[in-house]
Amino acid sequence: MKKISILSRLKNAGVIAVVRGKNKEEALNACHAIIKGGLTGIELTFTVPQADQVIKELRACYNDQLNIVIGAGTVLDAITARLAILAGAEYIVSPSFDDETAQLCNLYQIPYLPGCMTITEVSTALKSGVDIVKLFPGSAYGPSIISAFKAPMPQINVMPTGGVNLENMKEWFAEGAVTVGVGGNLLAPVATGDFDKVTEVAQQYAAKMAEIRR
């Protein structure tokens, strides 16, 4: 039931914020600002120094808020995946599919969302127990690729990441996305330390998500 519960919370979140940062403090501040803005999905990337410690602190901080789901991103191998899971990551996201990582996530009943760009890659991921495929980079295709993929494989669940923004988010969902990953313009104010602006943009994404679900 653990995996099913996490998948449900990922879907309910709707928008997953892909968080990068030049150090631990910056990443933590960005995550707090995003959650303050009303988004409940955080993907803390392992390009952040001490990423496992950031995940551990986030889980401790938001442990009583069951709607908030915190995972690890840019996970390139099973060793990193296990480190993230032991730190408290509730799901694992990779830029590409890795069978060893898929097996490890299955062992821990943790959802694995690998980056896929072709039907062959999607098929390989599904055979390894993947429940949600990360369409990455989404900007290489555009929203219509989801319905194109779903024509021969209607059972797939897709999370586009890269190229999703406030202007086209509704279209991604209309084409069949179960959730979307956003980074770019949501995290842009972090570069200047403007975390209030991050909260403001997060509020815009939360409002857009509420509008889409009406």
Q: How far apart are CA 175 and CA 45, in angstroms?
A: 27
| 26 assigned to active site | no
CB atoms within 10 A of CB 212: 16
Amino acid at 183: G
| 134 assigned to active site | yes
How would DSSP label each residue in 52-102? HHHHHHHHHHSTT-TT-EEEEES--SHHHHHHHHHHT-S-EEESS--HHHH
Structure tokens, 47:
């390009």
Structure tokens, 199:
């909260």
Bridge partners of 135, per DSSP, are 116, 160
Of the residues 90, 134, 175, 208, which is catalytic? 134
Residue where the block lists tokens 């990337």: 45
Amino acid at 114: P
Burial of residue 38 (CB within 10 Å: 0-12, 13-18, 19+) is: middle
Of the residues 3, 26, 43, 175, which is catalytic? 43
Residue 17 exposure: Cα atoms within 13 Å on the Cβ side? 34
Residues belonging to the active site: 43, 134
